[in-house]
Each structure stands twice: as structure tokens, then as C-alpha cells.
Amino acid sequence: MSVIRLPIDIKSLYFNIKNDNETGHTATVATPLKQGSSIHEELAQIRNIPENINSYSRDSLISQILSKSRAAAIITDVFVFESISVNGTSVECESRFCIYIREETDPQNFHFGRQKVHYPPTLKFSDSDIDINNRKVIDAISESLCNYAFIVEAFEYDTESKNLNFDVTIVGENGIPYSKIFLNKRGVGNKFSSVFNEFADTYDSEIISLREHLGYENVSPENYMEIINRNKSVAVNRICSELNNSGFGGIRKLAEEYPYSLYDVEYSDRGKKKFVIIRFTSTKTNYFSLPYNKIKFCNDFADSVKIALVTDVNGIPNVHWYAIEDLNKMNKTINSITYTNGGEHS
């Protein structure tokens, strides 16, 4: 099997993310291929993919695309895909997905000669031979991901099966604010990790063990979250090491990139993405808390998610793995309930 991987701009194709900015910040739905003398070498591999469209339909599609263009341009390449998958799992959709390359041709335009790879969800075209509807394909992908917020990071074309795989990262619940996803991609790091940290309520359960391990004078409410964040890094590294030793690939510490992701680590298992939610405790007790959104995520992706609990994280760490069926058998305590008076909570 030979796969052509086409990475795209991280902010160019994302869905189910709420724009909480006053203006702008919409998906660009395109990635530069050629600007001046600069060529995106990886993305340029797209020209090794067959177009999979007849000449009559191709000409009609190009005419439709260019009829809406505000600048002089040509469409140099058109690629149509019938077989679609997301993160290695097949997606059923009657419509096809289309990607094309657009080149600026006005010598007076500052961007003369620039080429971009476009994949707009609004693209829709049909004739007696072909039915292209990018929105329907995206909707089918979203549905297969239980409509969670996701970012498309790359397209992957299998030269044998002719399948186009959407390599996506699930970054939160449907409607998660844009600012929570993308601000940390501009060099500000985990700026909000202490503001919205889900481990803040573990103080009572952890404080005695933490002080026994680290010294009674070294742990206090003031530095508790700093210690917890440090312990989380230890737990994440331990899990990644264990996955690596088990022969899994594609290991990624998502928690370091997106602090509000519903899972902490992802890895590849026989071509399909798997997810790990990591819990940790300084004690030797097998206990952990999960917020409702992560419980729901576990149920929605029951075959792909596991909980990894690292106990004695400040001593001799020990890893315990749990699947969703294990969680359902465990004793549970409800710590909080949200009450709303007068309609839905928003």
C-alpha cells in the first residue's frame, strides 16, 4: 500500500467550532502550493493523484468555479474522490469530494503566479456523470465523529484503493469556542491550563500523599496546580513510553497542543486512530474523576478510547488500563449537578 499524504494549513478546514471572535477567523479552505519561488513540496505530491473526472464534466466544473472568481485565474488541476474515510474508518456518502488547484494569472496582481490547493465545503456540482457535494461529504464525516469539533490536518490518498482519508484531530465538544482551540497555536503555550483546569477539585484527595512524597512545606494551595501539571506530564510520558514499547505508532501528546482536548494521547493501531484519556494520582488508590464531556466521549467512541490511570505518580508509577465497559462496572460518586432556572442552559 502506498499513501500520498497532503498536509494542509491547520486553520484551513475545521468544523463544529464556534467563532467567538468579533470579526474574521473563518476557515480559509485553501493551502498555498506555490508562492513566488517557494513550493510546498509535500502538498505538491497531489499532482501524482489521478483526477478521476471526464473532460466534459471537468470543463463544466471549472467554468462554474471561475464564474464566481473576482480575479483573473485558471484551474490547473481537478481531483475528485469517491471513496472516503476519516482516521482510517470508512465513511458512507453518495456524493463525491473535490479538491482543485487555482492559479492567479493577472500580471498586475501582486499574487500573480500564486497557486493554491482549494477544498471548499460549499463546492457543489452535478451532471449526468458525476455528483460532487463537498458539504455532504463533510457532514457525513462529522456524523461519523459524533459531531465533535474537529480539525482536518491532512488528506491521505491510497494509490491502491483510491480512497481519500481525512486525517483529523478531535479538539473538543461541538461548539467549543475558537479561542480555546487556536490561541495556544500562536506561541502562548498552555495559557489557560490553570484557569480551566479539571484537576482543581482533587486537592482534598491528593494533598496528604503529595506532601508525604514532596515534603509538607513544599505543597500548598498556591502551588498545587503547578505540581499537578508537572505530575500530568510525568503520567503522559509514562503512557507514551508504554505505547511505544508495545509497538504502536503515530503517538501524539495532544494534551500539550490542545489543553481542552477530550483525550490526552492518540496513537495508531493498524491504520486507525485510538485515544487515551490519562488520569493520575499521587496515592496508590485506583480512583479517578471524569467530567461529563469525557464520559460522553468514551461512550461515543467506545471501541477507540481507553482510560490510563497512573497511580503513585510521585513514587513508583503503576499503570492501570480501563475500557468503557470497565467504567460501567465501577462504583461512582456524583460530585456536582448544574441547575438551570428558566429554559435551557447556554
The domain made up of 200-329 has a fold known as: Trna Endonuclease; Chain: A, domain 1 (3.40.1350)
CB 20 within 8 A of CB 178: yes
pLDDT number for residue 260? 83
Give per-residue pLDDT as tens, 56-109. Answer: 999 999 999 999 888 889 999 999 999 999 999 999 999 999 999 999 998 887
pLDDT number for residue 179? 82
* Closest residue by Cα to residue 103 from 123, 77, 75, 79: 75
Cell of 323: 475500557
pLDDT number for residue 255? 84
pLDDT number for residue 136? 98
Q: Which residues contact 251 (CB under 8 A, 6 or more apart)?
A: 240, 243, 244, 265, 266, 267
Query: pTM score, two decimals?
Result: 0.88
What angle (nearest 5°) sits at the alpha carbon of residue 34, between those of residues 30 and 37? 155
Q: What is the mean pLDDT of each run of 10 residues along the chain (346 residues)?
A: 92 91 79 92 96 96 91 94 96 97 87 92 95 98 97 97 97 89 52 50 85 91 88 95 96 88 95 96 93 93 96 96 93 84 63
- What are the boundaries of each domain within the chain? 3-175, 200-329
Give per-residue pLDDT as tens, 94-132. Answer: 999 999 999 999 888 777 889 999 999 999 999 999 999
pLDDT number for residue 188? 39
